[in-house]
Amino acid sequence: MHTVAEDEIHDEYFPLVPSPPDGARWSAPADLEQYLYKLARADSAYGYLRALAIEGVYYPVALDQIQAAEEGSYPILTTETPEGRTVAHVYTAGLLPRPHPYLVFEYATLGALAQILPDDVRMLAVNPATPCEQHFHTDDEERDVWLDLHRELFSSDELMNRLVTRRTGALPTGALLHGLACGAHLCFTNGDAWNTAHWHGMGYQGERERVAESWSVHGREDWLAMEERLLEREVSPWYWDFVLGARTALIAAQGTRVDAEQWRDCVEATLRDQAVRKVGTSGEDAEFEEFVAHLRSLVGKLLRYESRFRADGLLPPDGVVRSVAAWDIGRASKMARWGRGARYATEAEMRAALIRASDVARSVYGSWEEFSAGYVLGRCLHFDEEEFGPWYTTVLDAHQALATAPDSPWRTVPFGA
C-alpha cells in the first residue's frame, strides 16, 4: 500500500524543459545531462548511447499497472505518434520530475531496456521535451547494439562512491537542504544527488527492494516506525554514546583531557550507579559483569579508532568524537527519501523528517567535520570490527571528497542555523 496526500496531486507527469535562446548555453541539471546536451548538439548518437549504457535510464509506469504486474513482467508506459508508431519515453536521473502519486519511474540499464521494451515499440525517445532530447530506433539490430554497449561499459560499482550535485531544481539554503546534506555520506556511497528532494533513487521497485532487504521495511507502518527510531537515535546501541558521554563529562568537570583508565573507571562507576538507582541493586551478576567489561573494553576500541581518524585527517590532531548520533541521523536523512521513493511516505512526511534530522544534527554537533567523524565512527562500530577495511576506507573516501569538492554540501551549506 502507499499513501497519497491531496496536495501531492499535480499535473507534472513528465519534464518539460524549454531550449535556451539561440546562442545561449543551457545549464543542465547535472553533469550527465550537460554531456548529453553536448552530444545531441554534435549529432553524436553513438556517443549518446555509450553514455546511457554507463548510467542507465528511467522509464514511466502507471502505479496501478506496476502493482498489478506479475513477477517477471515489466509494464512500460508508451505513446502513439500521429502516424501510428508506438514510442517509449525514458529519462536520465537529473531530468526526472517531482514524484507523482499515480505515476512512478523504474530504473533500467540500457541492456535491460533492450530486453524488456515491448516488441511493438518502434522508437525510443530519450529525455523528450528537453534540450538534450534524442531518438533511437528499436529494431532488433539496434537492440543488439544496446546489449553490446551494456556488456562493454556498464558497471554498477562505477556508479557508486561519487559526489553528484544538482545545479538546477535544487533546494534553497535552509533546514530542508541541511537535512538533505545530513545524508551526504550515503548519497556519495550510492552515487545519488545529495541536494534534491524529488526522489526516485533506484526506481519504485528498486527503492522498495532496498528498504525491504536492508532494513526489513515492507510497508508504510514499517517505514514510519524505522524513520522515528532513526530520528530518535534508537537504532544504534545506546551504550556507544554512553561511553563517549562519560569522557565528555570528565573533560567538562576537570577541564583537561582524561587518560584511558580514568575514562574506563568513570564508565564503570556510572553504569553501576545507574543500576543501583534503577533496580535497587548493583546488578552484580555474570551477565551484568560481562556488560561492564564490554564497556570498559569499548574505551580502548574508541581510542584506537580516534587515533586512526587523526592520522587520516578525519579528526584534528587533538580531536575526539563526542557522539555517534550522526550515524543514525545520516541514515534517517536517506530513509526519508527511500520511503518517498517507495511511496511509503508522503511528500510532507519526507520533508518533516529531513527538517527533524537537521534539527537533531545541529543540537549535537557544531560542524560538518564533527558530524562526519561521528558518522564514520558509528559505521565502523557497526560493521568494521577494527579491521580498517572497506567499511572504513570507503566512508573515508566519502569524507575526503565531501571535505574538498567545491559543490559539496560541506562547502555550500552552512552547518549552523
Which string of DSSP letters, residue by residue, matches 199-231? --TTBHHHHHHHHHHHH---SHHHHHHHHHHHH
C-alpha angle 186-191-194 in degrees, rounded to nearest 5: 60
Q: Could you list the pLDDT tens digit for every one of the 417 residues in the chain?
A: 556 666 677 778 899 999 998 878 899 999 999 999 999 999 999 999 999 999 999 999 999 999 999 888 899 999 998 898 999 999 999 999 999 989 999 999 999 999 999 999 999 999 999 999 999 999 999 999 999 999 999 999 999 999 999 988 778 889 999 999 999 999 999 999 999 999 999 999 999 999 999 999 999 999 999 999 999 999 999 999 999 999 999 999 987 788 999 999 999 999 999 888 777 665 568 889 999 999 999 999 999 999 999 999 999 999 999 999 999 999 999 999 999 999 999 999 999 999 999 999 999 999 999 999 999 999 999 999 899 999 999 999 999 999 999 999 999 999 986
Going by C-beta distance under 8 Å and a sequence separation of 6 or more, which residues neighbour residue 67? none
Strand partners, 123: 87, 137
C-alpha angle 191-377-318 in degrees, rounded to nearest 5: 120
C-alpha dihedral (17, 18, 22, 25), degrees to nearest 10? -20
The total of other beta-carbon atoms located within 10 Å of residue 129's CB is 14
Q: What is the DSSP string of 299-359?
A: HHHHHHHHHHHHHTTSS-TT------HHHHHHHHHHHHHHHHHTTSS-HHHHHHHHHHHHH
Strand partners, 135: 125
Closest CA relative to residue 130, chosen from 80, 81, 95: 95
pLDDT for 12 equals 83
Q: Give residue 279's identity as a one-letter amino acid code.
A: V
Q: Give residue 296's identity as a one-letter amino acid code.
A: R
Give the SS3 label for residue 278. helix
Please answer whether residues 173 and 409 qualify as being in contact, where contact means their C-beta atoms are separated by less than 8 angstroms: no
pLDDT for 95 equals 96
Ramachandran angles phi, psi of 327, nearest 5°: -60, -45
348/99 Cα distance (integer angstroms): 12
pLDDT for 405 equals 95
C-alpha angle 235-239-245 in degrees, rounded to nearest 5: 115
280/277 Cα distance (integer angstroms): 6
C-alpha dihedral (56, 60, 62, 67), degrees to nearest 10? 0
376/305 Cα distance (integer angstroms): 10
Residue with cell 502507471: 62
Take residue 211 and report the three cell numbers written for it: 528498504
**Per-residue CA distances from 166 to 94, 100, 400 (Å):** 7, 20, 20
Give the SS3 label for residue 389. coil
Please answer whether residues 354 and 187 qualify as being in contact, where contact means their C-beta atoms are separated by less than 8 angstroms: no
Take residue 310 and report the three cell numbers written for it: 587523526
326/329 Cα distance (integer angstroms): 5
